[in-house]
């Protein structure tokens, strides 16, 4: 049944649950009301960040599970570039959640991580991390629409007043006064960049203890949901014995081939160079945008649209373009396509690189009504390089080589450069010795760093060769490692 608007009139489509949104879309299709991307006054602003990007949002089956106020999902895990921050923004804009902690470039509520309000609140809590999280939640509960103002007021409290303000009992008292039907959802994102690598494990462990306390409080959990968006390697590497806590309430984000092709098609039609050079294809995409935004365009149909723009094969790599789409944007390199997870951020960077190069080029790289092969591959090289640089930046908060944050960044940079020229695949013991010799970092820290990089997806087990690792397809070029074919 459709939601009713308590104040009369029709509710904003963005405020509906996933089921109701799909019902509206189906009704629109029955009535023949088509999406018209050209009707918008201005083209959407496309960026690499989910906090600011205005491109079409693809409601994948995974995403749809949390687009209702009564969703049981409390923990959303995913690798970098899988859309966690965009999810937070969509939930906030559709009034399905109130941000507490957010990414540094997020501007739709919450306090930024790291940022002035975040640092002030951390300092006020004096190293008591669980108190920090409780106080942050209480600030969210107590503020109407401006969390930052409440944080600025709270950091002026005395230590005793702060302890009382952020106590579990006080939060229970406050929410007990709400009306019987009042329920709120709060969102936490941006954890990955909140603190230096040396503090990350304790920071994340305190976060899970806080979430457990909220979850197991009957008084709070009846009225308040706190939903965490976290990079999956931090969940595995920094928190112990949380299986029971997250069981039945966690979601691991994964973009399969169908979802990523829907994303690519939608993205492509928002870029001016593609619209100028392939107007008929973009018109076809516009006509089916309602399906695409639900991730419902079939794989073969999406590929047919893309192959009206791209050549059938890419000459330099001697690979079919459909194989290129299926393997060059995933973490499994085609070995296990059913298990592969694709990266929308990389596909986005690839298409926008083509758009920018096309707009700047004096010579149009379209030949026989298709984009030239060399143009496609150059754009991919640039986009994959940019993706790798973003991953490298996150390693500053992941690898703990020195207690001093500034020195740690220098050490991490040297550590990354040390992979240049090393072979992949490799045995763990072998590469630990090589890296320790090249960097002067003790073997135990090298081993721990490699383990964390593996959790991030940079390395993976070599199928069929126990004890051997290899560098993932997306990262081999970024680390400048040499692929050596081995039996």
For 274-345, list the strands marked E by DSSP. 313-314, 319-320
| Segment 329-341, tens digit of pLDDT | 887 543 444 456 7
254: which 2 tokens? 């994964």
Going by pLDDT thresholds of 50, 70 and 90, the confidence category of residue 238 is: low
The per-residue pLDDT for 173 is 97
Residue ranges of alpha helices (H) inside 72-115 are 84-93
Please name the residues in contact with 264: beta carbons below 8 A apart, sequence gap of 6 or more.
302, 306, 325, 347, 351
56: which 2 tokens? 């079409």
Mean pLDDT (whole number) for 294-311: 96
The per-residue pLDDT for 391 is 82
| Segment 151-205, tens digit of pLDDT | 999 999 999 999 999 999 999 999 999 998 899 999 999 999 899 888 999 999 9
Across the chain, mean pLDDT equals 86
- Is the previous residue joined to 425 through a cis bond, with omega within 30 degrees of 0? yes
Query: Does residue 268 carry a pLDDT above 70?
Result: yes
The per-residue pLDDT for 39 is 40
The per-residue pLDDT for 450 is 95
Query: Does residue 479 carry a pLDDT above 90?
Result: no
Rounded to a whole number of angstroms, the CA Rg of the chain reads 24
273: which 2 tokens? 């160079």
Percent share of the chain, pLDDT over 70: 88
Mean pLDDT (whole number) for 354-375: 93
Query: Does residue 53 carry a pLDDT above 90?
Result: no
Q: d(Cα 91, Cα 187) in Å, to the nearest integer?
A: 9
Residue 367, classed as helix, strand or coil, is: strand
The per-residue pLDDT for 242 is 85
Percent share of the chain, pLDDT over 90: 60
Going by pLDDT thresholds of 50, 70 and 90, the confidence category of residue 313 is: very high
184: which 2 tokens? 């709120």
Q: State how far the alpha carbon of 231 is from the alpha carbons of 196, 210, 234, 235, in Å.
A: 16, 18, 6, 7
Angle at 343 between CA 66 and CA 384, to 5 degrees: 155
pTM metric for this prediction: 0.80
Residue ranges of alpha helices (H) inside 53-127 are 61-64, 84-93, 116-124
| Segment 415-468, tens digit of pLDDT | 999 999 999 999 999 999 999 999 999 999 999 999 989 988 889 898 889 889
- Is the previous residue joined to 114 through a cis bond, with omega within 30 degrees of 0? yes
Beta bridge partners of 226: 186
Give burial (CB, 10 Å; 0-12/13-18/19+) of 103: buried
Q: d(Cα 124, Cα 138) in Å, to the nearest integer?
A: 15
For the chain, helix (H) and strand (E) counts, in that order, are 24, 15
Closest CA to 265 of 227, 298, 241: 298
252: which 2 tokens? 């691991």
72: which 2 tokens? 């049981």
Residue ranges of alpha helices (H) inside 328-461 are 344-360, 373-395, 405-417, 428-439, 443-456
Q: d(Cα 281, Cα 349) in Å, to the nearest integer?
A: 20
358: which 2 tokens? 């096309």
* DSSP string across 17-56: -HHHHHHHHHHHHHHT----GGGSSSPPP--S-TTT--SP
The per-residue pLDDT for 4 is 35
| Segment 101-157, tens digit of pLDDT | 999 889 889 999 989 999 999 999 998 999 999 999 999 999 977 899 999 999 999
476: which 2 tokens? 């081999």
| Segment 383-410, tens digit of pLDDT | 988 888 888 878 888 899 998 988 999 9
Please name the residues in contact with 332: beta carbons below 8 A apart, sequence gap of 6 or more.
339, 340, 341
The per-residue pLDDT for 486 is 64
Spell out a b/e string for 399-433, using b for 16 or more CB atoms within 10 Å of the CB, else e.
bbbbeeeeebbebbeebbebbeebebbbebeebbe
Residues 56, 267 contacting (CB under 8 angstroms): yes
């Amino acid at each position: 049944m459709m939601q009713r608007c308590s104040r009369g009139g029709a509710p904003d489509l963005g405020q509906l649950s996933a089921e109701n949104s799909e019902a509206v879309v189906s009704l629109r299709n029955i009535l023949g009301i088509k999406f018209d991307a050209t009707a918008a006054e201005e083209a959407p602003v496309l960026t690499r960040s989910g906090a600011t990007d205005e491109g079409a949002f693809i409601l994948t089956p995974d995403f749809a599970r949390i687009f209702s106020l009564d969703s049981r999902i409390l923990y959303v895990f995913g690798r970098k570039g899988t859309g966690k921050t965009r999810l937070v923004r969509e939930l906030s804009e559709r009034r399905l959640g109130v941000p507490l902690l957010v990414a540094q470039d997020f501007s739709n509520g919450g306090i930024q991580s790291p940022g002035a309000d975040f640092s002030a609140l951390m300092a006020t809590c004096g190293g008591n991390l669980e108190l920090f999280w409780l106080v942050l939640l209480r600030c969210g509960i107590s503020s109407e629409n401006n969390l930052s103002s409440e944080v600025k007021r709270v950091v002026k409290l005395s230590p005793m007043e702060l302890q009382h303000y952020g106590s579990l009992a006080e939060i229970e008292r406050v929410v007990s006064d709400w009306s019987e039907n009042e329920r709120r959802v709060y969102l936490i994102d941006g954890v990955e960049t909140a603190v230096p690598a040396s503090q990350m494990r304790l920071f994340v462990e305190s976060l899970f203890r806080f979430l457990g306390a909220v979850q197991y409080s009957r008084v709070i959990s009846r009225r308040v949901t706190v939903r965490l968006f976290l990079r999956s390697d931090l969940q595995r590497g920094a928190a112990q014995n949380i299986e029971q806590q997250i069981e039945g309430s966690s979601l691991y984000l994964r973009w399969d081939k169908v979802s990523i092709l829907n994303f690519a098609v939608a993205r492509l039609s928002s870029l001016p160079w593609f619209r100028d050079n392939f107007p008929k294809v973009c018109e076809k995409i516009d006509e089916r945008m309602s399906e695409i935004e639900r991730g419902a365009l079939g794989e073969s149909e999406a590929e047919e649209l893309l192959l009206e723009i791209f050549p059938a094969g890419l000459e330099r790599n001697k690979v079919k373009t459909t194989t290129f789409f299926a393997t060059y944007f995933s973490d499994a390199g085609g070995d296990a396509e059913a298990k592969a997870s694709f990266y929308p951020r990389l596909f986005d960077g690839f298409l926008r690189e083509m758009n920018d190069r096309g707009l700047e080029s004096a010579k149009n790289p379209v030949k026989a009504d298709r984009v030239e092969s060399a143009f496609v591959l150059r754009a991919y090289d640039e986009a994959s390089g940019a993706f790798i640089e973003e991953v490298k930046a996150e390693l500053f908060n992941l690898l703990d080589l020195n207690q001093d944050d500034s020195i740690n960044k220098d050490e991490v940079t040297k550590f990354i450069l040390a992979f240049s020229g090393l072979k992949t695949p490799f045995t763990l013991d072998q590469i630990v010795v090589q890296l320790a010799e090249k960097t002067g970092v003790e073997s135990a820290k090298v081993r721990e760093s490699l383990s964390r990089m593996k959790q991030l997806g940079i390395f993976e087990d070599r199928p069929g060769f126990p004890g051997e690792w290899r560098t993932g397809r997306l990262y081999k070029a970024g680390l400048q490692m040499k692929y050596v074919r081995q039996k």
